[in-house]
Copies of this chain bind each other. A is one copy, B any other.
């Protein structure tokens, strides 16, 4: 309803206003030679919006993927995992990513798995690909059957509409509760060759709002050996998509797929731990970091983007435990929504995290403001300064445990009335 008025355009769930943390505009994404996009409207759940995306990848691309660890993960996720396991490395045939929004095809029993097979086969046949190279993802409501016939009927139109510059439309077609489409890009130098990386994503968090899930699709024209590609993707996910949280809930369908076409003509990147590998991995990380932060900016009901930097832990695992405990605490998140520099709740969240911590070596900062140290409020702390800082839209909360050099950073958003409005709504 407010989609047009707010400038969000083709949002998945009518009535959601564009996030106040949204970037000004969708970025200009580079064309990746060998990758073409199409989007169309199949009426999966809502009328008057696109809800199917097809990406066609030319023969010879290396593919990699990372998926949700949920034990109730979807049929599409299981299918993608099986296909990646069965077909590692380069392939002489092309590949496709086929995604619908509006319905997650999760907890839909044997019929759900059958739908994945049948839709993969339909795309494979129409695009002249082996079914084992068609990867599907579905995002939306859980427990309802896909409208398979309507989706199948839309495949020819998708094939006909494939376009190398269609990434922006594709980014819109995969949205659910997202209020803006998400895209990012970067370049790297491999020897004398410039390679391009670009990606699109959807999701209002890490997280499983009824109509959301985290999906990311990343493309590069670099030539990268498949094992190195998978290693670099897995590594980058840890500090990007796995380092953001909106509400601590984990989707049954989270999927990140990466295709490297090799069309840039660089000398193939053989390993992650080579100069070329490090250059590529840094650019890949930049794209995925950008997309992950956009997910938090579009966190359901978010009005503030919050970076939680934890240092001084006995290990990186412990630092992440503390960062996540703070980022997921409803009391911390509501305090941030209320612009309250309530550092007592940070102390509470450190205490409950399960990480090693000592009250008397702990220090807490809001931005550059030292709030607490040595088990007490800092001598020069003025609450008025911290309150002024909390009125900003982008906040950094720093916690130093003062024990060792374990560090980690997590990004989150505040918990507002709008989150409850979005999620307490009856689905129909």
Contact = CB atoms under 8 A, between A and B. Distances in A.
A141 B344 contact: yes
Nearest to A331: B249
Contact of A343 (B73, B143, B415): B143
A351 interface: yes
Contacts of A344: 104, 106-107, 141-143, 210
Contacts of A247: 330-331
| Residue among A249, A349, A415 facing the most chain B CB atoms (10 A cut-off) | A249
Nearest to A343: B143
Nearest to A425: B338
A427 interface: yes
Interface in A395-410: none
B423 A143 contact: no
Interface string A90-111: 0000000000000010111111
Interface residues of A, number: 69
Contact of A107 (B250, B251, B359, B425): B359
Interface string A239-262: 000000001111110000000000
B348 A70 contact: yes
A351 B74 CA distance: 10
A249 B249 CA distance: 15
Nearest to A362: B72
A211 to B, nearest CB: 10
A13 to B, nearest CB: 14
Question: Which 4 A-B pairs give the minimum distances between C-beta atoms?
Answer: A142-B344, A109-B376, A72-B351, A338-B424
